Structure 1
């Protein structure tokens, strides 16, 4: 399929974000890549350019309103009005609630939930302008953990539940403005860095679980996003879950 969109993907330096950005660019979108790691963004952008796509590197911290505002100005000046925003940046920590400093939990919520709020707020005016004449999409990547209650994932699950609720509420607010809003809740995905910070014993358990299920490749998530944004302008897929067939 071929799309002509101006897109921004957060958390685009690796994993799901990089896969989504690469797929959108391959389909014809001009893609802004937003994340903190400039060097990793440059590598993703180089791969997109080598394949014939268009990518703009946008180093920014989603937890900083000023950083995000500067990113919005850069994208506006270089690409024009955004018509596709994918909020994907996120952190995961698997540890009993009382065993981590409160600062760790604040950081997780800042990235996973406040980051979505900051980025959406900064780019919403462009999405609204785009919706006047063409398809405009807001996609928030939440998690299946938003619906499940798992030991060690209290704050992570709470932050993602906030993203899922925010997305549904925004759809109610923005539907009449012509902006399509989608919440995507992935289960076990292969090719992400979310579990890299786990203790060694938990990392081994996660690796075994990914093999047993097996986990869904990040390219499948990217394919799903590409399908969602390619639907006719009057069609919205508001809530999606993608997970391994064997995952309960």
Structure 2
């Protein structure tokens, strides 16, 4: 576990998508260590089971749910399972995503559609399934958080990342609008926009120009670690209930843009 077990988030029910690796994995460990009951969602059940086993051995409480966020029925079934087992979610870390950079001229429509379906439609499917639970928790007086994982790529220009960056710009602007709607209902809405993070997303990159860009960046920048983002999520959800830190840009010290 990333920290000693505490009761800081006792009573909170946390849902983490994209929990089988990287940022989602690290955040699940941290939230469980701070006392939240954690539901970890992803497609890779074997990895989720290992994560749940680790959390339980450290004294936490967790459940694994095999979920494909490109399938609304799958997400809805997970939402039902969470509420039946733990009660309504009061913390949703909407984190599943994919990064497949490439030159626009290559016209890789399948990769474009995959990024849009996961990074945009997947985010919306999770929102559709879990915002009603957040509303229930908030109406019961429980601190309630929806945190979306965006990227610094949603703000800045990077070669070969046009479609990925566009999906993340969508997530960032969506989050701003949702805060206007959900804030008056005592649901905090926030986004995290990380710079370069050392996760398996980079292993999905096949386009040579993007691989070269990332390799060069890794030679000059100490990338963020998933645990750095997890600590940020932990900070956001531990703020007093009336405080909503809406947007966090978290960058490696040496990364200028």
Matched, 1:237 2:245: yes
**Aligned-pair distance for 1:16?**
0.4
**Aligned-pair distance for 1:101?**
2.3
**Aligned-pair distance for 1:246?**
1.2
**Inter-partner Cα distance in structure 2 for 1:225 and 1:211:** 27
**Inter-partner Cα distance in structure 2 for 1:7 and 1:131:** 14
Which residue is equivalent to 2:101? 94
Q: Which runs of 5+ in 1 are unaligned?
A: none
TM-score, length basis structure 2? 0.92
Runs of 4+ in 1 over 4 A off after TM superposition: none
Higher mean displacement: 210-219 or 61-70: 210-219
- Is the 1:196–1:203 contact (alpha carbons within 8 Å) kept by the matching residues of 2? no
**Aligned-pair distance for 1:208?**
4.6
**Aligned-pair distance for 1:50?**
1.7
- Is the 2:100–2:206 contact (alpha carbons within 8 Å) kept by the matching residues of 1? no
Matched, 1:127 2:134: yes
**Aligned-pair distance for 1:39?**
1.1
Give matches, 1:58-207, under 5 Å: 58-132=65-139, 133-190=141-198, 192-199=199-206, 201=208, 202-203=210-211, 205-207=213-215
**Inter-partner Cα distance in structure 1 for 2:54 and 2:219:** 28
**Aligned-pair distance for 1:203?**
3.8
CA RMSD of aligned residues (A): 1.4
Superimposed CA distance per residue, residues 29-61 of structure 1 (whole angstroms, 9 cap, x where no aligned partner): 001000111111111111111211111101111
Which residue is equivalent to 2:56? 49
**Aligned-pair distance for 1:77?**
0.8
SS in 1 for 2:15: strand
**Inter-partner Cα distance in structure 2 for 1:96 and 1:215:** 24
Pair 1:124–1:200, CA change in 2 (3 A): closer
**Inter-partner Cα distance in structure 1 for 2:251 and 2:71:** 31
**Inter-partner Cα distance in structure 2 for 1:26 and 1:109:** 33
Pair 1:46–1:169, CA change in 2 (3 A): same
Matched, 1:35 2:42: yes
**Inter-partner Cα distance in structure 1 for 2:214 and 2:50:** 27
The total of aligned residue pairs comes to: 247
Matched, 1:3 2:9: yes
**Inter-partner Cα distance in structure 1 for 2:211 and 2:61:** 35
**Aligned-pair distance for 1:206?**
2.2
Superimposed CA distance per residue, residues 127-168 of structure 1 (whole angstroms, 9 cap, x where no aligned partner): 001001110000001000000122211100000000001111
